[in-house]
Structure 1
Amino acid sequence: MALLEEMTAAVQAIAQTRWSTRRGQVVPDPEDVRLGNDAVEFDRATVLYADLNGSTNMVDTEAWQLSAEIYKAFLHCAATIIRKEGGKITSYDGDRVMGIWVGDRQATPAAKAGLKINYAVKMIVMPALKQQYPDWTGTVRHVVGIDSSPIRAARTGIRGGNDIVWVGRAANHAAKLTDLDLAPSTWITDEVFIRLADELKYGGTPPTLMWEAFRWNRQGGRRIHGSDWAWRV
């Protein structure tokens, strides 16, 4: 079959095949979902994206070895923290990592992961790089975005090269939050904030609210909360 006919038939099958859905209890791996129109549904999941800020400029101006070390150090710390806080790492995409939480406890561990990533960047990654490269005048900046919503997992791609795609607001908005170029390094939506345990809302002595409220104009004035607090790992 010629390439045109093969792709046309595949797209027609995708558009015409009825979806099969089932409730999920755990985050699926790609092999847990059929490659056809098969989806795993979650009433609510919390998605975290951790992204390096300014990585394009970094690779344009820094030695490739240093850029690679920053990628590796940041993603190692972020992924380790996501897993330690009970999240499932679902994808790496260049300079970012995605984690997801399902089940009864989602918002609090996801937000704690965000604050711990901030700690790791400031207290682990940066000191190690400055020690190794004392003449380096650069910095490592990152942004974490977290949102919560109903979501569905489907398998996409072709045989021998496929992955899970997450269809729902939380995945898209968590990623979009990492585009914000403001002082806070961790961003959560109001749906996450209202579900936080008090230990993730207030810090210090006397207890101080760790989050500042904003309106997300690019998303219809949606209420979001930003923090630059760090949580010791």
Structure 2
Amino acid sequence: MTLKEDVDAAVVDMAKEWSVVTQQSGSTSVPDTDTLVGTSAKKILATYLYTDIKNSSGLMKVSPAETVASVMAAFLKISVRIIRHYDGHIRSFDGDRVMGVFTGPDRQSRAATAALKINYAVRTILEANIQSQFGSIHRSNWNLQQMTGIASGDALLVKVGIRNNADILSAGIAPNLAAKLSDLRLSNSAIATAIGKGTYNSLNDSAKLSKGVNMWTGPYSIGICQGG
């Protein structure tokens, strides 16, 4: 098959009908590349969490590639372990960004708690260790910070790609909003987690209050799609 024929085949596939199944709202499972095949698709009610390193390009300017890789790998390992601890499912990596998907009861609160734990681990554990371990970072003005975005709602999950190179695509406002929130670079650099209004309204007290005081500020208008 020629390249032109490959491209034409991909365009023809665009018109195919998805065989959509709606997941029960109480289920905590999330489809993966093994459970979605062909034109099968699953609609889920989920909370999406995206987290990544702020100013990773600044790290690349002051440190060798080996150091950059070590810092990013440590950040991703910490994030993945915390997300999984709160029963989130890892469904995507993109550079130093990771996406977690939470379904089932208390999904918004579990995602928010995971985000707060990631920020705590980065600020109090990982940052101190990389400053002491890597001279290039210690000699620079670069500090490790992260930003996490969370949003909730319906999403349609489908399998994309080709054999041995497949991934799960999440289509919906929730994953889109969570990704955009994780890209925010606010004037108040102390803000490391941004959540959608719908997510905030569904938080339980343990994810909303600290010693009886609301941990969250807002709401804010940030000029992107509302919801989540």
Shorter-chain TM-score above 0.5: yes
Which residue of structure 2 aligns with residue 140 of structure 1? 144
Describe the SS at the equivalent of 2:218. Answer: strand
CA distance in 2, matches of 1:157, 1:95: 21
Q: Distance in 2 between matches of 1:9 and 1:74?
A: 39
Match of 1:2 in 2: 2
Deviates most, 134-143 or 151-160 = 134-143
Give me the TM-score of the superposition, normalised by structure 1: 0.88
Q: Choose which of 28, 39, 42 in structure 1 pairs with 2:41.
A: 39
Inter-partner Cα distance in structure 1 for 2:78 and 2:221? 28
2:173 equivalent in structure 1: 169
1:198 to 185, 199, 205: 205
SS at structure 2 position matched to 1:83:
helix
**1:34, CA displacement in angstroms?**
1.2
Cα gap change, 1:9/1:65 in structure 2, threshold over 3 Å: closer, same or farther? closer
What is residue 102 of structure 2 aligned with on the other side?
Answer: 101
Distance 1:89 1:9 in 2: 31
* Gaps in structure 2 of 5+ consecutive residues: none
**How many percent identity over aligned positions?**
34
User: Which residue type is aligned with residue 173 of structure 1?
Assistant: L
Tell me how far apart the structure 2 counterparts of residues 77 and 160 of structure 1 sit (CA, whole Å).
Answer: 27
Which is further off, 151-160 or 141-150?
Answer: 151-160
Superposed CA offset, 1:8-32 (max 9, x none): 12321331x2221112342011011
Query: Which residue pairs with 1:214 in the alignment?
Result: 219
* CA-CA distance at 1:108 after TM superposition: 0.5
Contact residue 123 and residue 145 of structure 2 kept, 8 A: no
* Secondary structure of residue in 2 paired with 1:50: strand
The answer to whether the Cα contact below 8 Å between 2:53 and 2:144 also exists between their aligned partners in 1 is yes
> In structure 2, how many angstroms separate the alpha carbons of the residues matched to 1:76 and 1:45?
23
1-side partners of 2:192 and 2:222: how far apart? 18
Unaligned 5+ segments in structure 1 are 225-233
SS in 2 for 1:145: strand
More strand by share: 1
- Measured in 2, the distance between the counterparts of 1:112 and 1:126 equals 20
Confirm or deny: 8 A CA contact 2:197 2:219 kept in the other structure.
no
Structure 1 residues 23 and 223: CA distance shift in structure 2, 3 A: closer
Mapped contact 1:216–1:223 kept (Cα < 8 A): no
Deviation at residue 217 of structure 1 after TM alignment: 3.1
Aligned partner (choices 169, 178, 181) of residue 182 of structure 2: 178
Q: What amino acid maps onto 2:70 in structure 1?
A: E
Task: Report the counterpart of residue 227 of structure 1 in structure 2.
Answer: none
Does 1:28 pair with 2:27?
Answer: no
Question: C-alpha distance in 2, partners of 1:180/1:14?
Answer: 32
Q: Distance in 2 between matches of 1:73 and 1:57?
A: 17
The answer on whether the counterparts of 2:151 and 2:199 sit within 8 Å (CA) in structure 1 is yes
Q: Which residue of 1 aligns with 2:92?
A: 91
Q: What is the CA distance between 1:223 and its match in structure 2?
A: 7.5
* Aligned-residue offset at 1:6: 2.6
* 1:72 lines up with 2:69 in the alignment: no
Q: Which residue of 1 aligns with 2:61?
A: 60
Check conservation: 1:145, 1:176, Cα contact below 8 A: yes
- Cα 1:11/1:223, change in 2 over 3 Å: closer
